[in-house]
Amino acid sequence: MSLTPELLQPSVLLDRLATALKSRMAEQGIEEPLLVGIYTGGYWVAEALRKRMQVNWPLGGLDTSFYRDDFSEKGLNPGVKSSNLPLATKDRHLILVDDVLMSGRTIRAAMNELFDYGRPASITLVTLLDLQRRELPIQPDLCGQAIDLATGQRIKLSGPDPLEFNLINLKEEGQA
């Protein structure tokens, strides 16, 4: 199902990202980075990328609930998952993966959390989509596709098999 005329399918974007990421790591001489997917969508994307790249890089998941900046307004996310990193992050090259990048606030929270696990050698940010509505100075290193949506529209990834984009109209759902 095509949601907006220009939006590509997740599988196409994943192919694109897998190729770009593999060559980027090779160029930088990074042999075994730690993939860190942000729960839930980012973790699915990280898993899918690892499969497409046919690599055995370690994979971890991050729940940023305890690091979000909207705790005062929205309170605690009831479905908090445990962050689970298989290795120490200290001096390791990390690839931080999320499904949809918008304001940049989730990435800010994720980076703060990662630093509490230790000082990484580097962090590369990979996202499937970029909705280009940044509120913080954060940019992806690799992005599947950048698109513009109408005001009040969002895209949510469902998955993990198959990975699909769903268009959400905030006003219709009464959660603007």
Partner 1 sequence: MSYPANPRDIQLTAEGQLKHFLSISGLPKSLLTEILDTAESFANMGEQSVKKVPLLRGKTLVNLFFENSTRTRATFELAAKRLSADVLNLDIKTSSTAKGETLMDTLQNMEAMHADLFVVRHADSGAAHFIASQVTPQVAIINAGDGRHAHPTQAMLDMFTIRRHKGDFAGLKVAIVGDILHSRVARSQIRALTTLGVEEVRLVAPNTLLPAGVEDLGVQLYTRMEEGIRDVDVVIMLRLQKERMSGALLPSESEYYRLYGLTNDKLAYAHPDAIVMHPGPINRGVEIESAVADGPRSVILQQVGYGIAIRMAVMSMAVSGQMQERSQIS
Q: Least distance (Å) from partner 1 to the CB of residue 76?
A: 4
Q: Look at residues 45, 83, 36, 43 and name the one whose alpha carbon lies nearest to residue 64.
A: 83
d(CA 65, CA 110): 9
Is the CB of 90 or the CB of 171 nearer to partner 1? 90
Q: Is position 155 an interface residue for partner 1 (rule: CB under 8 A)? A: no
Range 98-127, binding partner 1 (CB under 8 A): 112-113, 115-118
What is the spatial distance between Cα 53 and Cα 99, in angstroms, rounded to a whole number?
17
Q: Give least dist CB 134 to partner 1, A.
A: 22
- Cα dist from 23 to 15, 47, 118, 144, whole Å: 13, 18, 26, 15
What is the x/- site pattern for partner 1, positions 26-55, by CB under 8 A? Answer: ------------------------------
As a whole number of angstroms, the distance between CA 48 and CA 159 comes to: 11
In angstroms, give the least distance from the CB of 90 to partner 1: 7
Q: Give me the half-sphere count of Cα atoms (radius 13 Å) on the Cβ side of residue 128.
A: 30
CB of 107 to partner 1, least distance (A): 16
- CB-nearer residue toward partner 1: 12 or 88: 88
Closest CA to 93 of 23, 46, 25: 25
Between residue 51 and residue 80, which ones bind partner 1 under the rule CB under 8 A? 63, 65-67, 71-76, 78-80
Give contact residues for partner 1 (rule: CB under 8 A): 63, 65-67, 71-76, 78-85, 88, 90, 112-113, 115-118
